[in-house]
């Protein structure tokens, strides 16, 4: 039994077709023909048939989630280290040890490199993801898996 689709799925498919036109995989005549088939599609199988010969496009929401995770992984340890340095610095200052600015030597260079990486990383090209079949893994003892 094939599931029926709604307007949202049709709109997403037409958006994907538009991105394929922008990437040069489809011309406008083929886009028009496929858009008509998407509009007339009632089930997931009919919709999948329209997109079957096109590569899967990267999901922008997944990419944004990945960027947030990467930023958290990069900046989280710096923030935790900064908090620990601030607590130690405050305890030393209140204990009469003076107000030396040693936390800046710990956090400054590290933070500068993080800022540079955060600014430069979005401008760097991302290698395309592998959309083909996975290469066959070969076990030396048992053969292909």
Q: What is the pLDDT of residue 57?
A: 81
Give bridge partners of residue 138 from the DSSP assignment: 144
User: At 139, which helix (H) or strand (E)?
Assistant: strand 138-139
- Nearest Cα to Cα of residue 64 among 122, 127, 129, 128: 122
Q: How confident is the model at residue 32 (pLDDT cuts 50, 70, 90)?
A: very high
- Nearest Cα to Cα of residue 16 among 49, 55, 66: 55
Q: What is the pLDDT of residue 116?
A: 93
**Is this prediction's pTM over 0.75?**
no
pLDDT at 128 over 70: no
Angle separating helix axes 28-40 and 7-22, nearest 10 degrees: 170
Cα distances (Å, whole numbers) of residue 100 to 5, 37, 93, 108, 112: 66, 71, 8, 14, 20
pLDDT at 7 over 60: yes
Instruction: Give residue-wise pLDDT tens across range 92-104.
Output: 888 887 778 888 9
User: At 18, which helix (H) or strand (E)?
Assistant: helix 7-22
φ and ψ at 139, to 5 degrees? -95, 130
């Amino acid at each position: 039994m094939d599931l029926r689709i709604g307007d949202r799925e049709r709109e997403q498919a037409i958006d994907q077709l538009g991105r394929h036109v922008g990437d040069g995989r489809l011309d406008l005549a083929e886009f028009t023909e496929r858009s008509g088939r998407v509009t007339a599609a009632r089930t997931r199988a009919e919709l999948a048939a329209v997109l079957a010969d096109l590569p899967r496009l990267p999901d922008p929401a997944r990419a944004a989630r990945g960027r947030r995770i990467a930023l958290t992984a990069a900046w989280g340890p710096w923030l935790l280290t900064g908090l620990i340095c601030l607590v130690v610095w405050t305890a030393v200052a209140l204990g009469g040890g003076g107000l030396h600015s040693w936390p800046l030597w710990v956090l400054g260079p590290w933070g500068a490199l993080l800022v540079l990486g955060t600014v430069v990383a979005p401008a760097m090209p991302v290698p395309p993801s592998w959309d083909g079949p996975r290469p066959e893994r070969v076990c030396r003892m048992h053969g292909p898996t």
